[in-house]
Amino acid sequence: MISFGPIPSRRLGKSLGINNIPAQKICSYSCIYCQVGITKKYSLVREEFFDPMVIYKEVKAHLEKLNEEDLPDYLTFVANGEPTLDIHLGEAIKKLKTLNIPIAVITNASMLCNKQVRDEISFADLVSVKIDSVEEESWKAVNLPISDIDFHDLLTGLLKFSREYSGKLISETMLVQGVNDASDILHKTSEFVSQVNPAIAYISIPTRPPAISTVSASSEDKINEAYQIFSGKNLKVELLLGFEGTNMGHTGNAIADILNICTVHPIREDTMLELLKKDNARIAVLDSLIYDQLIKKVTFDSNTFYLRRFHV
């Protein structure tokens, strides 16, 4: 269950996901909007999860199963947790680069105060950093970070990485109603993002079932205000507000495809039906996964999604 997809990405086109964090979620944050759910294990300690050669071989084998039209634009480290907690991340990136497909890393930026982490993810072609707030109280409220993170060190590490990195750097700010979307917070966040100077500063809202059920997306007025404030800092700003589409890659193994994707990426019902069709699988496959309690069905924003279930 290391690779999954490709899935349509609003930032990356077709993205073949790489989940280099095993089992249940291990992260330095437990963001209230996270589509993977609450953090099962908080950590700031880098560990050995998968041998980089195992990751390379699985991704290579996955690519060989895909039709030519499903080949990805990026191989993306987007994990069941924070991918930079993998102590072999740099080595894995270097091995995967031999496949001649651009590498992306999606990080919450909490580990960028560590020079080794900054050096390792510099091998990637694109890095996306989370900057939900630079006002400490709202940062804690939206990201629920592990208590060991020093907020000043976090921001310093982000700025250092932005000045060192020669690849494509993008940022994402997720707006949650009443938590990090006040005008003064948006001004502070946009000012910091302008110092990071990403190629694109994305502003997004929750579009999949969040970890905390009471989470709501910011209003249209607040989204527009955020866009105007960020644009006023001479940033190239794009909004991520909609559905990516149903065009997911497939390997021919419906059960593996469903389980691997929804471990990290909840699958909307229309996308699930399209995936079953591509894999020549019946709806009974989905019913059996629900019956066996391997996945669960939830509703968010009037849409039905399927998520992976884990049993402690």
Residue 153 sits in a domain of what CATH number? 3.20.20.70
Q: Which of 218, 240, 262 finishes a domain? A: 240
Residues 11 and 149 reside in one and the same domain: yes
What are the structure tokens assigned to 183, written together? 């005008």
Total residue length of the chain: 312
CA distance 209 to 68: 32
Burial class (CB in 10 A: 0-12, 13-18, 19+), 165: middle
144, 261: one domain: no
- Same structural domain, 222 and 190: yes
Among 199, 215, 240, residue at a domain's last position: 240
Here the CATH number for the domain that contains residue 282 is 1.10.10
Does residue 247 fall inside a structural domain? no
Is 245 a domain residue? no
Specify whether 223 is located in the same domain as 86.
yes
Q: Is residue 95, in this structure, part of any structural domain at all?
A: yes
Q: What is the pLDDT of residues 170-226, one digit of tens each?
A: 999 999 999 999 999 999 999 999 999 999 999 888 877 788 888 988 888 888 888
Task: Kindly report the number of other CB atoms within 10 A of residue 148's CB atom.
Answer: 11
Distance between CA atoms of residues 298 and 113, nearest Å: 37
Q: Could you tell me the residue range of the domain that residue 293 belongs to?
A: 254-308
Task: Examine residue 210 and state whether it is found in any structural domain, yes or no.
Answer: yes
List the one residue out of 42, 26, 33 whose CA is nearest residue 82: 26
Q: What is the mean pLDDT of the chain?
A: 87
Does 227 share its domain with 148? yes
Residues 148 and 261 in one domain: no
**What secondary structure letter does DSSP report for 266?**
P
- Co-location of 128 and 212 in the same domain: yes
Q: Residue 90, by phi and psi: left (phi above 0), alpha (psi -120 to 50) or beta? A: alpha
Nearest to 166 by CA among 201, 125, 130, 115: 125
Residues 261, 227 share a domain: no
Instruction: With a cut of 50, list the residues of the chain below it in pLDDT.
Output: 312
Residues 53 and 127 in one domain: yes
CA 231 to centroid of chain Cα atoms = 24
pTM reported for the whole predicted model: 0.80
**Within a domain: 249:** no
Question: Same domain, yes or no, for 191 and 269?
Answer: no
Q: Domain check: are 19 and 62 in the same one?
A: yes
Give residues with Cβ within 8 angstroms of 83, minimum separation 6.
18, 20, 21, 77, 89, 105, 106, 107
**Strand (E) or helix (H) holding 8:** strand 3-9
The count of structural domains within the chain is: 2
The tokens describing 5, both together, are 């997809």
Give the pLDDT confidence score for residue 312 in this predicted structure: 41
- Measured CA to CA, the distance from residue 124 to residue 117 in angstroms comes to 12
